[in-house]
Amino acid sequence: MEKIGVIGAGSWGTALAQTLAGKGHEVKIWDLDKTHLEELKANRENVRYLPGVKFHDGLVPVDTSEEAIRGANIVLFSAPAQHFRSALKGALEYLTDDMVLVNVAKGIEQGSLKRMSEIAEEMLPDAKYVVLSGPSHAEEVGRAMPTTVAVASKDPEVAAYVQDVFMTDRFRVYTASDIVGIELGGSLKNIIALGAGISDGMGFGDNAKAALMTRGLAEMKRLGVALGADKETFLGLAGVGDLIVTCTSMHSRNRRCGIMIGEGTDPKEATEKVGMVVEGMFTAVAAKELARKVGVEMPITEMINDVIDGKIDARKAVELLMTREKKNELD
């Protein structure tokens, strides 16, 4: 059994901590929000973000990041993507060379346009970094519903180690080597899920959503390949798998936010009503800039940006997408 420190006690960090503790690992979880930590300790449950899931005995909320990290074999980072850099910076003095860093945030950093592995490489060039991604709503993982994900690392042995530590009879883990594709798949699908929600909010049907998901997947793959990813990754768990679950489930924050926007709610107000970080709202901006930087066409991403920026309304965006210049589907 391993010692694992979890940085970030949102729904996803808590669900994974619960899964690991249920397997018998010693898990310590910490969060920047002190009030939230006190609630976790008092209730032995994340009432705020993952209600109804009582903690296993091996899951212990702690008061400091140092307490969570020192002596750990694995440090799991579950801070939102836009806060990953600060979370890693705050952990640096306690991390050692033999620790494995597992990141589960899905996004592209605004400004730098970097993926999470690039931030880790910048701050800790020799880190044993692993990304975990796939179709995995915290609400289901926390309740031990069957879920399958992928983990990727530059070092196959490190990926296999994380696979062994995390895998249970309800949480199946595959290994991969395509860090770029795994990270971009998990990040970009949130943008398409916003669009799927907007479509649902406007009352459009299954045809529209299927088209949006399919053409959205084409955009994801196009940008991924331009950045060095394997196109096959986007047909796997972190690509089409995560895209499907995020675009179709009401567990999806991005879809729920999109539905409200499609119904006419101001994007900022919709985000606030969701009550948790809506990663797609941040990633959409970064992805648009990144696509322009490398010369990749992403019309759906562009239109979703214009909608959330208030430049056009959702119906106008649909009209513009539907009346674009004729093309061959595989171009």
Q: Using one digit for the tens of pLDDT, what is the confidence trace for 176-185?
A: 999 999 999 9
Residue length, the chain? Answer: 331
- pLDDT classification of 330: cutoffs 50, 70, 90: confident
The active-site residue out of 106, 114, 189, 209 is 189
Angstrom distance (rounded) from CA 179 to CA 291:
18
> What's the confidence (pLDDT) of residue 90?
97
pLDDT above 70 as % of the chain: 100
Angstrom distance (rounded) from CA 179 to CA 129:
10
Look at strands 50-54 and 45-46 and give their pairing.
Answer: antiparallel
> What's the confidence (pLDDT) of residue 202?
96
Q: C-alpha 73: how far from its chain's center?
A: 23
Q: Are 56 and 76 in contact (CB under 8 A)?
A: no
> What's the confidence (pLDDT) of residue 134?
98
Q: What mean pLDDT comes out for the span 4-22?
A: 98
> What's the confidence (pLDDT) of residue 292?
96
- pLDDT classification of 100: cutoffs 50, 70, 90: very high
Q: State the Cα torsion 306-320-255-245 to the nearest 10°.
A: -130
Q: What mean pLDDT comes out for the span 94-112?
A: 97
**pTM of this prediction?**
0.95
User: Can you list the domains of the chain with their CATH numbers?
Assistant: 3-177 (3.40.50.720), 180-322 (1.10.1040.10)
The string of pLDDT tens digits covering residues 212-221 is: 999 999 999 9
> What's the confidence (pLDDT) of residue 279?
94
Angstrom distance (rounded) from CA 145 to CA 17:
15
pLDDT of 248 over the 90 cut: yes
- pLDDT classification of 331: cutoffs 50, 70, 90: confident
- Rounded to the nearest 5 percent, the helix, strand and coil shares of the chain are 55, 15, 30
- For residue 45, the SS3 value is strand
> What's the confidence (pLDDT) of residue 295?
97
The string of pLDDT tens digits covering residues 151-162 is: 999 999 999 999
Query: Does 326 participate in catalysis according to the annotation?
Result: no
> What's the confidence (pLDDT) of residue 118?
98
